[in-house]
Structure 1
Amino acid sequence: MITVFGSLSADLVTRVKHLPTPGETVTGPAYTVVPGGKGANQALAAARAGAAVRMVGAVGGDGFRDLALSGMRDGGVDLTGVADSPEKTACAFIAVDDKGENLIFVASGANLDARAAQLNDAGLTADDVLLLQMEITHAENWKAVEIAKAAGAKIVLNLAPAGPIPEESLRRLDVLVVNETEAGQLGTQLGLTEQDPEIIAAKIAADFDLDCIVTLGPAGTRSFGPSGRYSVPALSIDVVDTTAAGDSFVGAFAAGLDQGLAMEQALRQGSVAGSLACRAVGAQPSLPLRDEITAHLAALPETA
């Protein structure tokens, strides 16, 4: 089983002609409200890719509560680990331009009340995968790493949005997933002088004995570490909205690991899912189902 410890939110999404610059007001014709949050997105992505998934986090008692849980509930995610918070359910405010690029602001609210101690009721075992992101209190993430390590679970961290990570926690990870920006920021934290995200990922993998995956958008994905070195392309897709592409990749990739796929095959599954998520506006509504992922795998070239 995959246990996701992370964020849940209600996402307010609007289409705009271009993303605003500081001090600029840009209007959109309408907006939609959909479930989101990196933790919830990745939990649903993994469930849609065929994994059994448990979500651990926190929501408020306000009107956005049911919306934030609705996508995962419909997707069969176990929500018994989601706690009640006196704070409001988190909200994300998302603008998407005509090229599918986005600008996102998050009001964390109840996400800051998620506690690693909630994992004590999750019954983590050596057969489980713990999936983490960076939209909750960082210190709770590092406590969660210790709990999962003691249970023998595989630990996957998506360092998004980018933030500092203690080196002792980094050494306990099995898999680290970063994009180009996140790789650069982590490299700077670690005192690396390299600028190339692939070189940084390879160095982190070697120094911390983990698999480090760097996602490169339309250029695909590179992976370095004990499981091998892989270069996986992305599907050619007409991009509508990139909002959930990274979460779709991570969730489907984690599902592959949980399903016993070899690293390269799990990466390919994640790459296809991430590409397919760019076809529609919004986070969770765009996440592909397992049959869709399988149907498009054959169209993915063997190497990037």
Structure 2
Amino acid sequence: MIIVFGSINIDLVARVGRLPRAGETVLGPGYDVIPGGKGANQALAARRAGADVVMVGAVGRDGFAAAALAELAAAGIDLSHVSRVDAPTGAAFIAVDAAGENQIIVASGANAAVRATALDALSPAPRDILMLQWEVPEAEILAAARWGRARDLRIMLNRAPAGPISAELADLLDMVVVNEHEVLALGAGLGVTGEPDAVAAVLSERHGLAVAVTLGPAGALCWADGIRHESPAYPVEVADTTAAGDTFCGALAAALDRRRGYETAVEFAAAAGSLACTAFGAQPSIPHRSAIEAAAQVLADQRNPDHRRLTE
């Protein structure tokens, strides 16, 4: 089982010809209202990748709440631990340009009311996975990690948006997932500088955790137990990169929940993240397990062509 402790948002998404510079207004033809939030996105990605998922978070009592939860409910995610609070449902304001790149502003709203004490109602099994992100209060993230460690859970943190974490939190984690820019901010906060690959290797060794780094069109790498694993991206035509990182995280958690090793789990996650770039919007773009498995098999065959020939 995977427990996701994190944010639930509604995304207001506008397509534009190019992203605005500071102080500039750029016109778009319209906008879409799409469920999102890093916690919710990762929960849906893990569920579509085949895992049983519980979502712990908060929404408001406003009209956006039902829309923010709709895809999660349809996927069969356990939402009984999502609180209703007297604050507006979290919202993200997203601009996506013609190349699929984006700019995002997040208004926390109800996500600021998420509390780690909500986890006390759960009875997880040892080695279940607890997924954390950085769109709920920092103190609650640390409290959730302590809760998970006391129950022998595997704890995964996606440190996004970018920034440092405390050494205490790093030592509670089993895995951190960041992109090539976020890993530098993470490393700087823990006294490690250098190129993304080298920073990931040092953090992994120093804190005894796996460090996965997404590299956009170059794929992903992961340092764990002194071993470097890597996977190229699955080749796609990019429409929108908004949920690629969240999809990678959810698919990675789902693969690890099925007791896959890091090599095949990173490959599976890289395939999922690539597929998420082929459709517009966060949650609508998240792929299902069958599509991910097919794309991951292509990557596996590229990694080991001799095995492919033997099995054809």
TM-score (ref. length: structure 2): 0.95
- Tell me how far 1:39 sits from its aligned partner: 0.2
Q: Which residue of 1 aligns with 2:150?
A: 150
Matched, 1:183 2:183: yes
* CA distance in 1: counterparts of 2:192 and 2:78, whole angstroms: 40
CA contact (8 A) 1:232 1:268 kept: yes
Q: Which residue of 2 aligns with 1:44?
A: 44
* CA distance in 2: counterparts of 1:137 and 1:54, whole angstroms: 19
SS of residue paired to 1:104: strand
- Tell me how far 1:163 sits from its aligned partner: 2.6
Q: Which residue of 2 aligns with 1:61?
A: 61
- Tell me how far 1:125 sits from its aligned partner: 2.5
Q: Which residue of 2 aligns with 1:139?
A: 139
- Tell me how far 1:127 sits from its aligned partner: 3.3
Q: What whole-Å deviation, never above 9, does each CA across 1:216-248 have from its counterpart, x for those lacking one?
A: 111111111227320111111110000000000
**Paired residues for 1:215-226 under 5 Å:** 215-226=214-225
- Tell me how far 1:2 sits from its aligned partner: 0.1
Identity of aligned residues (%): 50
Q: Which residue of 2 aligns with 1:247?
A: 246
Q: Which residue of 2 aligns with 1:98?
A: 98
Matched, 1:236 2:220: no
* CA distance in 1: counterparts of 2:207 and 2:297, whole angstroms: 34
* Equivalent residue letter for 1:144: A
Where structure 2 has 5 or more consecutive residues not aligned to the other structure, the ranges are 305-312
Q: What whole-Å deviation, never above 9, does each CA across 1:42-65 have from its counterpart, x for those lacking one?
A: 000000000000000000000100
Q: What whole-Å deviation, never above 9, does each CA across 1:62-103 have from its counterpart, x for those lacking one?
A: 010001100100111100110111100001000000000000
SS of residue paired to 1:26: coil
- Tell me how far 1:265 sits from its aligned partner: 1.1
Q: State the superposition RMSD in angstroms.
A: 1.0
More moved, 145-154 vs 122-131: 122-131
Q: Which residue of 1 aligns with 2:84?
A: 84
Q: Which residue of 2 aligns with 1:34?
A: 34
Where structure 1 has 5 or more consecutive residues not aligned to the other structure, the ranges are none
Q: Which residue of 2 aligns with 1:171?
A: 171
* Equivalent residue letter for 1:80: S
* Equivalent residue letter for 1:14: A
SS of residue paired to 1:299: helix
* CA distance in 2: counterparts of 1:206 and 1:9, whole angstroms: 35
CA contact (8 A) 2:220 2:231 kept: yes
Matched, 1:75 2:87: no
* Equivalent residue letter for 1:121: A
- Tell me how far 1:278 sits from its aligned partner: 0.1
* CA distance in 2: counterparts of 1:299 and 1:125, whole angstroms: 34
* Equivalent residue letter for 2:129: V
Q: What whole-Å deviation, never above 9, does each CA across 1:273-294 have from its counterpart, x for those lacking one?
A: 0000000110000000111111
CA contact (8 A) 2:192 2:203 kept: no
CA contact (8 A) 2:12 2:33 kept: yes
More moved, 219-228 vs 132-141: 219-228
CA contact (8 A) 1:4 1:53 kept: yes
* Equivalent residue letter for 1:161: P
CA contact (8 A) 1:227 1:263 kept: no
Over 3 Å off, 4+ runs: none
CA contact (8 A) 1:244 1:278 kept: yes
SS of residue paired to 1:298: helix
Q: Which residue of 2 aligns with 1:302?
A: 303
More moved, 53-62 vs 172-181: 172-181
Q: Which residue of 2 aligns with 1:110?
A: 110
Q: Which residue of 1 aligns with 2:292?
A: 293
SS of residue paired to 1:273: helix
Q: Which residue of 2 aligns with 1:124?
A: 124
CA contact (8 A) 1:237 1:275 kept: yes
CA contact (8 A) 1:111 1:136 kept: yes
Distance verdict in 2 for CA 1:227–1:130, change over 3 Å: farther
* Equivalent residue letter for 1:257: L
Distance verdict in 2 for CA 1:66–1:227, change over 3 Å: farther
* CA distance in 1: counterparts of 2:280 and 2:224, whole angstroms: 34
